[in-house]
C-alpha cells in the first residue's frame, strides 16, 4: 500500500521542495481561500492527467488554472477589457474568469474547448508557491470527483492521502466554497456559471451588465467550466433539501436521520441536529458547510436533511452547493 502523503507547513525549504516537485510534473495539494486544490503544472498535459487519475475525474470536466500575475493571464489566455476590469476589481480573490485560451494550454486542461478558466487566488501561502514555481497551476478541488470539497489539509489526507505524495497545509479555508465562475468569452453577454463569494450583484455592478445563467450542463458534453454537473459536492449518505425545517418533524424524527440547519441557529438540540453558525451568519455557514457535511456523512446516518439558506448574495452560492449535494 502506498504511504500517506507528506504534509508540509510552508517553510521556505518546504516551498522550494514543492515548487521543484511541481516543475518535475508531480501533484501537490494546495490551500486556497475557497477550498483545497490538487495542483499540477498547467502547461504539462502529462502532469495534469495525473490530476484526473487521482480524482477519478472525467476528462470532459475542465480544470481551473491559477496564476499569480496579470502577465501570466496574458500568457495563457486572451483577455478582453471586461475581463481586465473584473480582474482589477476582484483579483486576487475568489473569482474565476473563462476566456479564449492560448495554445500553451493543453487541450486536456480545457476539455478540448478553445477556452480556459483562470483565477488569481488570494491565499498568501499558495501565492508564494505560485511565485516560486513560476508556472500557472491547474488545480481542481483536492477530493474524489463529485464528493464533498476539502477545506483543510486533514480532509485531503483522508480522501486522497494514498493517491498523492504532497499536501501543503495552509490552515482551514477562509471562504469554504469554490470560486465564482463567470464566462466572458463574449464580453457583451457575460454568463454566471457558478455562484460564489463574489456575488452576481458584485459582478454586475463592475461590468454594468446583467449576467445570464446558462442551461443545465449535459453530463456527456465537455463543460465550459467545473461545477456545472447536476450532482456534485455530494455526501455518500442520501440527502434531502428542504425550504425550511418543521421543528415538529425534526423533534419526532428517528435518531438515524441527521438535520443540518444551514443558515439559522438550530431550534432544537440533539446528537442528530447540527447548525453551521450559532448566529445564522452566512459567512460562517459557508465556511463550515463542507466540514460539517463530511463529519455527518461519516457518522453513519441513514439520511441527511439540509435546510436552504435565505436571502441573496452568499445564500445563492450555499444553495447551489446544497442543490447539487442533494440531487439524485
Domain boundaries, the chain: 6-207, 239-326
Are 237 and 269 within 8 A, CB to CB?
A: no
Q: Which string of DSSP letters, residue by residue, matches 11-64?
A: -HHHHHHHHHHHHTT--EEE--SSS-EEEEETT-HHHHHHHHHHHT--TTS--E
Task: Specify the pLDDT at position 268.
Answer: 85
Q: Which residues pair with 261 in a beta bridge?
A: 275
Phi, psi dihedrals of residue 180, rounded to the nearest 5°:
-65, 140
Q: Among 121, 133, 120, 162, which Cα is nearest to 14's?
A: 133
Task: Specify the pLDDT at position 217.
Answer: 54
- Burial tier of 236 (Cβ tally within 10 Å: 0-12, 13-18, 19+): exposed
Q: How many Å separate Cα 154 from the centre of its chain?
A: 16
Nearest 10 degrees: Cα torsion 11, 12, 17, 19 = 110
Query: Which CATH code is given to the segment(s) 6-207?
Result: 3.90.870.10
Query: How far apart are the C-alpha atoms of 111 and 117, rounded to whole Å?
Result: 11
Mean pLDDT by 10-residue block, N- to C-terminus, for the chain (328 residues)?
Answer: 90 98 98 98 98 95 97 98 98 98 98 97 98 98 95 97 97 98 97 96 97 72 77 90 93 95 84 90 96 97 96 91 92
Task: Specify the pLDDT at position 78.
Answer: 98
The CA angle 55-57-61, to the nearest 5 degrees, is: 135
Task: Specify the pLDDT at position 103.
Answer: 98
pTM of the model: 0.95
Query: How far apart are the C-alpha atoms of 282 and 304, rounded to whole Å?
Result: 20
Task: Specify the pLDDT at position 15.
Answer: 98
Task: Specify the pLDDT at position 65.
Answer: 98
Q: Which residue shows C-alpha cell 507547513? A: 9
Which of left, alpha, beta for 267 (phi over 0: left; psi -120 to 50: alpha)?
A: alpha
Helix (H, G, I), strand (E, B) or coil at 285: helix
Task: Specify the pLDDT at position 218.
Answer: 57
Residues in contact with 138: Cβ distance below 8 Å, sequence separation at least 6, in sequence order: 39, 40, 41, 42, 48, 51, 63, 64, 65, 66, 109
Amino acid at each position: 500500500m502506498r504511504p500517506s502523503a507528506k504534509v508540509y507547513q510552508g517553510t521556505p525549504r518546504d516551498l522550494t521542495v514543492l515548487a521543484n516537485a511541481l516543475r518535475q510534473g508531480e501533484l501537490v495539494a494546495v490551500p486556497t481561500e475557497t477550498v483545497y486544490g490538487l495542483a499540477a503544472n498547467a502547461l504539462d498535459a502529462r502532469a495534469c492527467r495525473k490530476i484526473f487519475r487521482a480524482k477519478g475525474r472525467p476528462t470532459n470536466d475542465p480544470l481551473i488554472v491559477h496564476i499569480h500575475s496579470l502577465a501570466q493571464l496574458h500568457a495563457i489566455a486572451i483577455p478582453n477589457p471586461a475581463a481586465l476590469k473584473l480582474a482589477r476589481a476582484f483579483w486576487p480573490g475568489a473569482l474565476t474568469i473563462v476566456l479564449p485560451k492560448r495554445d500553451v494550454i493543453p487541450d486536456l486542461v480545457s476539455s478540448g474547448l478553445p477556452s480556459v478558466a483562470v483565477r488569481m487566488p488570494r491565499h498568501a501561502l499558495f501565492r508564494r508557491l505560485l511565485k516560486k514555481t513560476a508556472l500557472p497551476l491547474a488545480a481542481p478541488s483536492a477530493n474524489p470527483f463529485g464528493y464533498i470539497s476539502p477545506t483543510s489539509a486533514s480532509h485531503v489526507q483522508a480522501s486522497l492521502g494514498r493517491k498523492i505524495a504532497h499536501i501543503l497545509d495552509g490552515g482551514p479555508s477562509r471562504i469554504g466554497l469554490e470560486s465564482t465562475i463567470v464566462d466572458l468569452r463574449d464580453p457583451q453577454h457575460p454568463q454566471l456559471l457558478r455562484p460564489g463569494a463574489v456575488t452576481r450583484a458584485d459582478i454586475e455592478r463592475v461590468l454594468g451588465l446583467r449576467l445570464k445563467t446558462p442551461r443545465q450542463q449535459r453530463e456527456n458534453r465537455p463543460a465550459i467550466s467545473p461545477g456545472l454537473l447536476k450532482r456534485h459536492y455530494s455526501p455518500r449518505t442520501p440527502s434531502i433539501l428542504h425550504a425550511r425545517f418543521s421543528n415538529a418533524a425534526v423533534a419526532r424524527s428517528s435518531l438515524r436521520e441527521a438535520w443540518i440547519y444551514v443558515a439559522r441557529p438550530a431550534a432544537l438540540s440533539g446528537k442528530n441536529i447540527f447548525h453551521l453558525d450559532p448566529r445564522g451568519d452566512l459567512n460562517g455557514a459557508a465556511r463550515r458547510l463542507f466540514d460539517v457535511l463530511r463529519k455527518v456523512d461519516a457518522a453513519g446516518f441513514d439520511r441527511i436533511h439540509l435546510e436552504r439558506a435565505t436571502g441573496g448574495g452568499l445564500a445563492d452560492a450555499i444553495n447551489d452547493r446544497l442543490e447539487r449535494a442533494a440531487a439524485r
